[in-house]
Amino acid sequence: MKKRFEIKNWISVIVLAALFVVLGTMSGGKLITPLNIKNLLEQSLPIIIGGAGVIYIIAMGSTDLSIGGTAAVSATAACMVASRFGFVWFFPVSIAIGLGIGLLNGIVVSKCRVSSFMTTLAMLIGLKGLLAALVGDNIIIAPMQIIALNKIQFKVVFTIVVVVVFGFIFESTRFGRYCKVMGENEQMVLSMGVNVNKIRIIAYVISGFIGSLVGIMMLIQQGGSSTTMGSFLEMKVMMAIYLGGVLVSGGLSSKVYKMIIGAFTISVMVTGLYLAGISPDYLNAIEGVLLMIVLFLTMRFNRGKGRTE
pLDDT tens for each residue of 226-242: 999 999 899 999 989 98
Task: Specify which residues 225 forms β-bridges with.
Answer: 140
d(CA 189, CA 171): 17
Using pLDDT thresholds of 50, 70 and 90, give the confidence band for residue 280: confident
For the chain, where are the alpha helices, taking DSSP H only? Answer: 11-26, 34-59, 67-85, 90-111, 116-135, 144-147, 152-172, 174-191, 196-222, 233-243, 256-275, 280-302
The CA–CA distances, whole Å, from 183 to 186, 240, 249, 262, 293 equal 6, 18, 6, 20, 25
Cβ-contact 91, 102 below 8 angstroms: no
Residues of the chain above pLDDT 70, percent:
94
Q: Domains along the chain?
A: 36-302 (1.10.3470)
Name the average pLDDT for the chain: 90
Using pLDDT thresholds of 50, 70 and 90, give the confidence band for residue 270: confident
For 190-212, how does the pLDDT look when each residue is reduced to its tens digit (9 = 90+)? Answer: 988 899 999 999 999 999 999 99
Average pLDDT over residues 40-54: 96
Residue 303 reports pLDDT greater than 70: no
Query: HSE of 220 in the Cβ direction (CA atoms, 13 Å)?
Result: 22
Residue 307 reports pLDDT greater than 90: no
Residue 1 reports pLDDT greater than 70: no
Cβ-contact 131, 227 below 8 angstroms: yes
Using pLDDT thresholds of 50, 70 and 90, give the confidence band for residue 264: very high
Residue in 260, 246, 262 with CA at minimum distance from that of residue 309: 246
Cβ-contact 115, 218 below 8 angstroms: no
Could you tell me the pTM of the whole model?
0.91
Residue type, 236: K
b/e map 230-261, b = 16+ CB within 10 Å? beebbebbbbbbbbbbbbeebbbbbbbebbbb
